[in-house]
Amino acid sequence: MDANAKYYEGCGQEGPIRCIFLCEFHHTAGPKITCQVPENYISKDIFDTVSHYIIPKVQLQRCTLTVTLLGSKILGFPVRIDNKKYARNAFYFNLCFVCDAWARTVHLEPLVKKLTEYLLSMELETEWLSKQSMSGDAKDLGCLMKQVMQDINCRRMCTLTVGTTTTHLTVVRVNSDPAPVKDHQVPVFLYSRQSFVADQWDLTTNQILPYIDGFNHVSKIAALTDVEVSLVRACVQNLVYYGVITLVPIFQYCAVYSVTPKLRQLTRCAGLQRQCIEFCARSPRQLPKVNDLFVMYAGMSHGSTVRDLCRRLRPQDHAINERKLVLFGVLEGLIRRVYKYPITLNNVDTASVRSDHNQNLVRTYNGLVCLDELCCHGGLSVSQLEEQLERDSNVVFIVK
Amino acid sequence: MEVNPLNIFFVKSDSKGDRLLFRYPYKLDNKDENTQKKCGRHNPYAINCTEDLLQNPQTQTSNVYKGQLSGFTDEMLSTLFAVKAELCNRKFELKVNDVRFVGHPTLLPYRTNKDDTAAMILINIVFALQASASHSIVKCYYDLSKRLGKALRHEEKRCSYLTEEMKIMLATHDEVSALESEVNRENDEEEENLRHSVSSATYSHENCGDGTPKSAFHLILQRSSLARSMKAVFEGLSSTGIVQVRINNWVLLSFCLPHKAHQIHNRGLIIEPECIDKCLQKLRPYHGILLMVDPNELLASIPLDGSPALLRLIKLYSPLKSLQTLAIEADLSFTQVSQLTGHLVYWAKATVIYPLCEGNVYVVAPCGNVNIHSPLLDEFAKEFPGLCLVQMLSEFSLPAPLWFKARGVGGAGGGCGGGARLARVVAWLLRRKLLLQLHTYVHFNSPNWNDDPDGQEYYCEKHDIYNQSCNISFSSLNQMQLNVPEPVEPRESANTFPDSDEDYPTENNLNQTDFSHTKPIVIESEHSKHEKFHTNDSANHSFDDGMDVVDGFVPKPNGLNGFGHNDQKKQLNSVDSGISNNNSDKLHINGSMDVDDHKEDKKVTITTRLSDASLKEKDASNNVDCDENMMDCDVSPRQKNTLTNGTDKKNGVSLNLKLQNEMSFQPPTVCGGVGECEAGAGSGAVRAGCAGDESPLHAFTPAERAALAALPAASNPDDLLLLATLHKKGYFRGETHLEEIMFMENVTRSQLMQLLDKFKGVLITFETEDPAVAMLYPYQ
């Protein structure tokens, strides 16, 4: 029952490959399974009911097909080789992965495609597939499929060598594209730096890696590493895609944070408490108390800046590193940043533009760009910019 | 975007083979566009590598072009959707590249026109969606397909509707293809085109002369009501997400795709049904609803056979009312109301809020996307002339209660017509999810809260330990700790007024006679034995100087050892007995019992105490002579006690609380005597609460008591009792907001605020949103 509760259709989890089979169109018998690992996972009856999705009509050749039927999901990439040497002047085949119906399979699609291409090229070169299917002895193919299934399920990658050709298969998590990285955002590692294999990454990424500490923002990293800021942005975005880092708002003493409902987890979860204590400590020898940490978080509200909070609660007296405290809170979702968006009241009235305003900045007071970003672009400190804006009665702030 | 359907198909499969009878939309884009798309992006500088072409012909990766389905011919689709009989009546899901087809193949008997023997026919109404559509969207579409299938099966059974409609469709197809083959005999160049799609392409035949587009689907749409229904379904889904179609003017099919429906009011807001379910689970009686549409329109849109309960609810609706109020007014149970709420939320007709009131605190929602170009600005200006949305939102930059804003806006905006208008503005903003309400949550800052992962048991254990320590050795405990939980004895104050007991009211006498028959007397006195000594001081203090000098008095009783206590207690009892001259002998017995230290049932003591306190309370408010009351209450409750024992036992604590409330509302202009009486009553309540196993004060750990003791506010027994009770009920774990506490415990906001202020040393407050309400907001 537990498993059922966990794995329902649409749970969005990945599941193992249950079966791999190769099926082809036999010139007399029609669609048939040439080889299957493990044997008889897909029975003849089931195969017959779904066969026209596996060996489809011409227009669906070379399309990734996924059909969810009878509790399993079958992924395939049907192909056809036109050649006079084959019985019907064409050789149709499809290598299919079978997963459970609840499993997410988008990440396997490129894999199926690549493996099919590999088989296709071998068939074109040495008739590797058709020979095996004609002889009825598909031992080589079976070994290959078994290896793929085992390796992909265990290690999520696989290296296949048949004769002189080699191919590599890796499962790549399919994520939606991360939002464009802004200059004022701060990248921070989600895992410990030690677990990060640096030589997997490109040179620029390696160059900026040491400066990703959770406090340097993108343009500062660019300045420190002497790398073009757009390159840094691209690298950071790439790292975000792979879930190595995430982006947090820049730490400032004038920043305002607000508590989220998740904060109450800190009162309950001992694991979270321990983590928080260790993370936010000024020194590992003197650990802060969890009450003090909680009081600090609880004090964060729309009205008070980090500076106010520090003045009031004196985190240094309680062995709390307030920067780390904020970082931890943001990473765990205990708090969220409250941004200030300047917005002009009447956008048509250009007369309101004062001479002391930076013309470029005025144009961006549209309610979409927050103060941090403006400061980062304009090279101003928040207080300077705020001072400018306060003087303009046409600009109001939306705080959210 | 991905919520919208790409296409709807209607496929049949019977003994004569499968056929795509209808699809909507049926206009296909030009063929050359298709081919361009298939080749992918063209780079004019790229070298076409021939080897590459040999090995890897370009594969088609997308079947969506300009938001429309492309690359499938009708024949292909009909073979795909005409599933084998084994797969009927279950979910059909097929994904091709980036298009997902979902349907529910329905097998149904139908009458062929020649003979009346029923044959089976398979119909499949399939929706084409973007493959990126989430699972819950797919599930909704599947449901819709299933319902359409069922409706058709019903209509076929009832009046052979399907047979008739299919006949029309097939006839039209044949007609058009006959016409086309005729034309094509003349125009050979169009033959290729025809082979790809016989019926879907729209041809304009110049040869024919009339120039009107002749597509089989176009004609079907004119001739067949089923085709029109399907078109309505598709259009409903892509415009509002709400489908209300009568199949064959008979079966009403109402369907809502919540992912889409909520976008009518808030663009980009995708609410999944699962999310609504979760929200409903968290729905409490203090929540309210806010209709997204005009109630009159909503009433008009409800079909005639709509639930009368729903109609009542909408008629009585107000954003100021809580669900409980609505339930009472509409004469429904809370379950019903919450189900109706869920219904309204699902159909995007309402959202869940905390009822609008002046004390509510709102801030701009983090997701509230307002910029100078957003259409909301104009909408707002139209709705509220003279007000600017941006300015309004900037007013909500700092969290403050609404009444404060009302004042502020009245000053700044000038034309804002007071609270009523502000309420309308807030409702408008809440509908657009531009505002988010903040609630204050309280967490009790116990010094060692990371030590006890699970609260309940820990407290219980502590409580036991504390009891023992209380009984065994007072002197061993440090006085600060003792000071906090020490209950206050009203009798003590009676003790200080030995002269006041001249005459009892007759009823009291009656009571006493009653009381003399009942057992609890003994219990009472036994109980008092435990408490007398420590209550002693606080009562004294409250009477004597009325200042927070508790600490000065505390050491005295603490310093007394067991023997001393006994002495004092004896003395007290004797005083008691002396006072009650009417039945002095009984009370004397009590006293002696005390000394003998009988073990009694504690539960009973609680209840007696409770009623004690409650009656005392009433007496205090009724009678002027409080001293006498004090004496009364010692005795009088017994009679009622015996009657109301059972009920009191259950909710004794909350009863106390209510009394406390009443007390706080007592007019301040009472004579000093009454004031003192009040204190006595309060302390009585404290004692009552504290007496038994469930006593609220025992919920505190010794360390917590120590922390509490340090606060001057702890000396006020009323406050302490309220705090203890609320703490015991788990309201201070950071999980319940003030409004919930107010609702559950029937306390006022000012009371709570005062309490928070007084005990701010041990209570941590934080402001955040109610997760139940925030669930319907787009962020996170």
pLDDT mean for each 10 residues of chain B (780 residues): 86 87 74 44 59 52 75 85 85 89 88 65 91 88 94 89 90 88 67 49 41 72 92 92 90 90 81 88 91 91 86 91 92 92 91 90 84 84 87 85 72 54 89 90 74 38 33 31 32 36 36 34 36 36 34 37 40 38 40 40 41 41 40 39 38 36 33 36 40 57 77 80 84 85 88 86 87 79
User: Residues B496, B545: contact at Cβ < 8 Å?
Assistant: no
10 Å Cβ neighbour count for B389? 23
Rounded to two decimals, what is the model's pTM? 0.73
pLDDT at B116: 59
A-contacting residues in B 371-390 (Cβ below 8 Å): 371-374, 388, 390
- Report helix, strand or coil for A100: strand
Where residue A314 falls (left for φ over 0; alpha for ψ -120 to 50; beta otherwise) is: left
Which of B96, B141, B438, B458 best probes binding to A when mutated, by most A CB atoms within 10 angstroms? B96
φ/ψ (deg, to 5) at B608? -60, -45
User: Residues B431, B352: contact at Cβ < 8 Å?
Assistant: no
Q: Which of B73, B92, B453 faces A59 most closely, judged by CB atoms?
A: B73
Q: Which of B73, B394, B399 faces A303 most closely, judged by CB atoms?
A: B399
pLDDT at B44: 65
In this complex, do B135 and A273 lie within 8 Å of one another by their Cβ atoms? no
Eight-state DSSP code of residue B354: P
Q: Which of B364, B391, B765 faces A400 most closely, judged by CB atoms?
A: B364
B-contacting residues in A 266-305 (Cβ below 8 Å): 267-268, 270, 273, 289-291, 294-295, 297-303
- CA of B343: how far to CAs of B144, B310, B426, in Å? 17, 9, 24
Distance (Å) from the alpha carbon of A327 to chain B's nearest alpha carbon: 18
Say which residue the tokens 């349907």 belong to.
Answer: B103
CA of A266: which chain B residue's CA is closest? B450
In this complex, do A396 and B135 lie within 8 Å of one another by their Cβ atoms? no
Residue A11: exposed, middle, or buried by beta-carbon count in 10 A (0-12, 13-18, 19+)?
middle
In this complex, do B370 and A367 lie within 8 Å of one another by their Cβ atoms? yes
Q: Which residues neighbour A250 within 8 Å (Cβ) at sequence distance 6 or greater?
A: A184, A185, A186, A217, A372
In this complex, do B765 and A65 lie within 8 Å of one another by their Cβ atoms? no
Q: Which stretches of chain A score pLDDT less than 70?
A: 1-12, 195-196, 198, 346-364
Contact with chain B for residue A260, Cβ under 8 A = yes
Radius of gyration in angstroms for the set of CA atoms belonging to chain B, rounded to a whole number: 39
CA dihedral of residues A109, A114, A116, A120 (deg, nearest 10): 160
Which of B31, B142, B372 best probes binding to A when mutated, by most A CB atoms within 10 angstroms? B372
d(CA A342, CA B394): 10
In this complex, do B55 and A124 lie within 8 Å of one another by their Cβ atoms? yes
Contact with chain B for residue A165, Cβ under 8 A = no
CA of A264: which chain B residue's CA is closest? B734
pLDDT at B730: 82
User: Residues B351, B266: contact at Cβ < 8 Å?
Assistant: no
List the structure tokens of B552: 């000065």
- Nearest residue to B107 (alpha-carbon basis) of B126, B88, B79, B87: B88
d(CA B33, CA B205): 21
Alpha-helix residue ranges (DSSP H) falling in chain A: 2-6, 44-54, 109-126, 128-135, 139-155, 203-208, 218-225, 229-241, 265-268, 270-280, 290-298, 306-313, 322-332, 359-363, 371-378, 382-391
In this complex, do B768 and A259 lie within 8 Å of one another by their Cβ atoms? yes
d(CA A128, CA A138): 10
- Nearest residue to B689 (alpha-carbon basis) of B714, B720, B721, B659: B721
Eight-state DSSP code of residue B657: H
- CA of A125: how far to CAs of A23, B513, B717, in Å? 20, 112, 93
List the structure tokens of B496: 């200080």
d(CA B78, CA B11): 6
Q: Which of B134, B372, B453 faces A366 most closely, judged by CB atoms?
A: B372
Contact with chain B for residue A261, Cβ under 8 A = yes
CA of B363: which chain A residue's CA is closest? A400
List the structure tokens of B90: 């279950």
In this complex, do B95 and A117 lie within 8 Å of one another by their Cβ atoms? no
Q: Which residues neighbour B313 within 8 Å (Cβ) at sequence distance 6 or greater?
A: B326, B330, B332, B337, B340
Contact with chain A for residue B91, Cβ under 8 A = yes
pLDDT at B569: 40
Distance (Å) from the alpha carbon of B695 to chain A's nearest alpha carbon: 24
Contact with chain A for residue B226, Cβ under 8 A = no
- CA of A308: how far to CAs of A248, A253, A313, B223, in Å? 21, 8, 9, 73
User: Residues A337, A330: contact at Cβ < 8 Å?
Assistant: yes
CA of A335: which chain B residue's CA is closest? B768
List the structure tokens of B448: 């060692």
| CB burial readout A381-397, b (16+ within 10 A) else e | ebeebbebbeebebbbb
Contact with chain B for residue A13, Cβ under 8 A = no
Number of H helices, E strands in chain B: 37, 16
Distance (Å) from the alpha carbon of B628 to chain A's nearest alpha carbon: 48
pLDDT at B114: 58
